[in-house]
């Protein structure tokens, strides 16, 4: 099949599979797809072959560490980890992403939590991935022509490929460019759909407000990082368009917002088990029923998700989320108001500092140890922003039952387009606590 046909085939299938309104129907389809996935894909993986014929719950759990350790036996094409890592590092250093290992493209995850992960996909899988995203992102379908601009950290031949389809043009804008060059590339692309990491979208929104760039996208998707309230507001205000979200990691296309702007997991092609964290919070353990080169089976993501209290009014059967809370690593450990060390979800801090927007335009809060934080601020008027930020932090800590933190000011935010923006980050290790597992 040509690329355009492969794309359209997967696109039509993704449109059909996504449209499911009954949980029963969805779960029966998942069971059918898992049986087919086990016999066609997992049977070709030396690591998973011994589990043939058994239910999903009998398969071993996986995570990034296991994926790296057992990569050579997990993948179904006899690929060798060490060769692929070397090729991926070469591509990153030269920013020439064209050489592929056969038709297999190689990516390294950005490794915010230390270790980098290795992910591979064939050309067919990449087309399928793009088709799955577009099937859901372009709600009115392919009747309209679209120019899609993707602000991404690493190129990938995929975007060249999909351009072959007449109705959709992709422009890839490399975040390794200088900010000014990135704005020029973006303006030249005149996107109708803009996709990028939220902290970069917020910088583009600033440029739009100050008249440095003229863009009028009809849709904007934040992807690759948690969308925080002040970025959402800044981008929506600057462009007059609501901000949708794509929940996407190197591990796959995991979810997207619906017509009601509620995030749903892509359970038509994922089975999502939950490791409960109490309340409606959980860590997702995903099985991707489509990836064939590098099977993703019971893979524990490092994210904390919060289920929506009510079903989404859009009627989709796929699980609706209230939000992605962030990475599990980002839980802060602070002094309790009455002694001891207590966990504190970064959401408290995030919401409090978002409340200080627009006086506090952007910030980074780094926890160095249980007692002290480093705060960086971007603000037009620092004399006004600093006390506001301090008051917001004190209030957030008090609400969480924590003692007031010691906060050191450390100048403005250092923006690095290529790095994942983590506004709140804990930079010391604490023994795993009972809280994290209960
Ligand atoms: Zn919905």
Q: Which residue did the predictor score with more confidence, 375 or 302?
A: 375
Beta-carbon contacts of 100 under 8 Å, excluding residues fewer than 6 positions away, are: 106, 157
In tens, the pLDDT along 76-135 reads 999 999 998 888 888 777 767 665 667 888 877 765 445 678 888 888 898 898 889 989
Q: Which residue did the predictor score with more confidence, 97 or 26?
A: 26
336 exposure class (CB count in 10 Å sphere: 0-12, 13-18, 19+): middle
**pLDDT, mean of residues 60-75:** 94
pLDDT of amino acid 362: 85
Distance 90 CA to ligand 1 centre (A): 41
Q: What whole-number distance in Å separates Cα of residue 30 and Cα of residue 252? A: 17
pLDDT of amino acid 438: 29
Distance 322 CA to ligand 1 centre (A): 11
Asked whether 388 and 192 are in contact (CB, 8 A), the reply is no
| Residue in 136, 326, 318 with CA at minimum distance from that of residue 229 | 326
In tens, the pLDDT along 128-155 reads 988 899 899 988 877 788 888 988 765 5
Q: Of 159-168, 217-226, 350-359, which gets the smallest average pLDDT?
A: 159-168
In tens, the pLDDT along 387-398 reads 999 999 998 888
Beta-carbon contacts of 208 under 8 Å, excluding residues fewer than 6 positions away, are: 214, 215, 238, 239
Q: What whole-number distance in Å separates Cα of residue 111 and Cα of residue 292? A: 23
Distance 144 CA to ligand 1 centre (A): 23
Give the mean pLDDT of the chain.
Answer: 86
Distance 303 CA to ligand 1 centre (A): 21
Q: What whole-number distance in Å separates Cα of residue 347 and Cα of residue 88? A: 34
**pLDDT, mean of residues 36-48:** 98
H or E, element range at 84: helix 81-94
Distance 318 CA to ligand 1 centre (A): 8
Distance 345 CA to ligand 1 centre (A): 26
Distance 317 CA to ligand 1 centre (A): 9
Tokens 């059967």, residue located? 317
Tokens, residue 42: 């997992």
Distance 313 CA to ligand 1 centre (A): 6
- What's the pTM value of the predicted model, to 2 decimals? 0.81
Distance 263 CA to ligand 1 centre (A): 7
């Amino acid at each position: 099949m040509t690329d355009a046909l492969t794309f359209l085939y997967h696109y039509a299938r993704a449109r059909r599979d996504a449209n499911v309104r009954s949980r029963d129907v969805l779960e029966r389809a998942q069971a059918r797809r898992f049986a087919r996935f086990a016999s066609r894909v997992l049977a070709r993986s030396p690591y998973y072959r011994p589990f043939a014929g058994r239910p999903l719950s009998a398969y071993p759990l996986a995570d990034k560490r296991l994926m790296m350790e057992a990569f050579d036996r997990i993948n179904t094409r006899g690929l060798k980890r060490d060769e692929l890592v070397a090729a991926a590092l070469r591509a990153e250093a030269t920013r020439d992403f064209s050489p592929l290992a056969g038709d297999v493209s190689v990516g390294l995850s950005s490794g915010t939590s230390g270790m980098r992960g290795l992910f591979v996909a064939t050309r067919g899988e990449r087309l399928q991935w793009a088709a799955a995203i577009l099937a859901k992102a372009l709600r009115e379908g392919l009747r309209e022509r679209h120019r899609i601009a993707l602000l991404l950290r690493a190129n990938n031949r995929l975007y060249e490929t999909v351009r072959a389809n007449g109705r959709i043009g992709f422009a890839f804008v490399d975040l390794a460019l200088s900010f000014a060059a990135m704005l020029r590339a973006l303006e030249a692309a005149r996107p109708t759909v803009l996709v990028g990491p939220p902290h970069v979208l917020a910088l583009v929104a600033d440029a739009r407000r100050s008249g440095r760039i003229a863009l009028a996208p009809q849709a904007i998707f934040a992807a690759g990082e948690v969308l925080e309230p002040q970025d959402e507001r800044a981008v929506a205000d600057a462009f007059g368009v609501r901000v949708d979200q794509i929940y996407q990691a190197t591990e796959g296309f995991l979810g997207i917002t619906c017509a009601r702007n509620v995030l749903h997991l892509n359970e038509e092609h994922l089975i999502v088990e939950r490791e409960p964290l109490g309340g409606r919070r959980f860590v997702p353990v995903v099985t991707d029923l489509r990836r064939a080169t590098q099977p993703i089976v019971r893979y524990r993501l490092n994210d904390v998700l919060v289920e929506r209290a009510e079903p989404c009014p859009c009627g989709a059967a796929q699980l609706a989320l209230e939000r992605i809370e962030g990475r599990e690593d980002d839980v802060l450990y602070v002094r309790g108001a009455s002694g001891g060390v207590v966990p504190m979800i970064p959401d408290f801090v995030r919401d409090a500092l978002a409340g200080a927007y627009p006086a506090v335009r952007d910030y980074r809060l780094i926890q160095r140890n249980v007692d002290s934080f480093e705060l960086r601020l971007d603000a037009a008027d620092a004399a006004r922003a600093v006390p506001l930020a301090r008051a917001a932090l004190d209030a957030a800590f008090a609400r969480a039952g924590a003692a007031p933190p010691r906060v050191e000011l450390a100048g403005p935010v250092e923006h690095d387009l290529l790095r994942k923006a983590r506004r709140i980050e804990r930079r010391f290790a604490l023994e795993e606590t009972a809280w994290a597992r209960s």
